[in-house]
Amino acid sequence: MAVTVRECYLFLLDNYHHNFVPPELPLDENVDGALRFLEKNIEKCMKNAAARPAVFKESSDMRKLFLEYRNRSIPFLEFAREIAMKRYEFKGRYEIFTSSDLFICVITNKEEEFLVGLEINCKEEMVHHVVQNEIGIQNNLLVHQSVLPKVSLSNSSFFMIDMDKLNLTILEGMTSSIDDDTFLYADKILECQTKISLKEAVRTAREVAEEVVEDHQLDKLHLIPAFERVIKETVNVGEDLDMGVIAEEVFFEAPEARLAYVEQLKGHGIDKPVINQNLVKMPLRKTQRLVTDTGIEITIPLDYYNNKEFVEVVNGPDGRLSIQIKNIGNIENK
C-alpha cells in the first residue's frame, strides 16, 4: 500500500480554549518528514480492521458539497473548511473539550484518488526551554500541546472518500451523551449509512460459533481455532467474508450446527458477505494456548496442535479431559 499525499490542509480544533484556527495555505511539503508522518498514519488507518465501509445518504448535505468540489464548482479548501467547522461545532455541542489537529488531504493510493480526513488528539506534554542571557543559562519546563499518536491510533478519527466511486471508509469511536449515542463523523457530519466492520464481524462470528459448538456438543478445542484460521486466511487473501462459506468449511461434519450458525448470525445482522473494502489483513495466530481448570498452561505451535500424531485431547470415562503430547524426541527446561 503506497499512499502519497498530494495536497493537505491542517485545521486546529481547540475546543478546550474555544478556538478554531482554519488555514489559508496548505501544509508546507518542504518541512522534513511532515508528509511522510501523514502517509504512514493514513496507511495504518486504512489497514485497521475496525474501519467501517459506508455510503452517503442521498439527503446528505456533505455529499452535495463533495460533488460540487469534485465537479470543480468549489475549491478544495472550501469543502475542507466546511468539514472542519462542522467537526468543531459538534465537538462543542457534545462537550468534547479536547485540542485536536484535523488533517484534510487529497491522496493517491495505487493510482486511485481519495479525500482523507485524519484527526489526532493533542496531548499536554512538558518540553525543555533553554534561556541564555548575560547572567547565564536557565533551563525551564514549558507546557506544550503536541500531537502524539499511539501506534494503534486509538485516539484518532479517520474517514476516506473514494473520489470516483463515492464509497467511504470511517474509523471512529462512539460519542455518548445524555440525549443519544452517535458516531459524529458518520452520523452527523458526513451523514452516511455504515456497514459492519471486519473486526466487529469477526468478534460476533466467533461468539456465535462458540455458542453453536456448545449447544451441539462439538469439539471446541478443535473447531474454534479452525474457525479463526479459516476466517483470517480468507481476509488475508483479499476476499470478502462470506459466513455461509466459512460455516460449510468449519462445520462440514455437523450440518445441523452449520444451519444453526448461519441462522444465528442473521439475528446479529450478518446475512450478507462482510466487505473487505481496503484489503485489510489480520495477523495469523502461530500458536494455540490452552489453560486448564487446574491452572496448567500449554502453548503449542498450530502445525502440531492440528495433528493428532503429536497432540490429542482425550475424553475420559468420567467426563474429564486429558491432553496427550506424543512423538517427542527430547524435553528441556526453559
Question: pLDDT for 95-122, tens place per residue?
Answer: 999 889 999 999 999 889 999 999 998 8
Q: Which amino acid is at 269?
A: G
The CA–CA distances, whole Å, from 298 to 235, 294, 321, 334 equal 28, 12, 14, 13
Which residues have C-beta within 8 Å of that of residue 196, sequence separation ≥ 6?
52, 204, 269, 270, 274
The set of residues, in sequence order, having a beta carbon less than 8 Å from that of 64 and lying 6+ positions away, is none
Q: Over the stretch 71-93, which tens digit does the pLDDT of each residue have? A: 999 999 999 999 999 999 999 99
Largest distance between two CA atoms of the chain: 89
Residue 188 to residue 66: CA distance in whole angstroms? 15
Task: Collapse the DSSP code of 145 into the 3-class scheme (helix H, G, I; strand E, B; otherwise coil) and give the result.
Answer: strand
Collect the ranges in the chain with pLDDT lower than 70.
Answer: 1, 125-127, 142-155
Tell me what pLDDT residue 152 has. Answer: 56
How deeply is 23 buried, as exposed, middle or buried, from its count of CB atoms within 10 A (0-12, 13-18, 19+)? middle
Nearest to 324 by CA among 302, 303, 300: 300
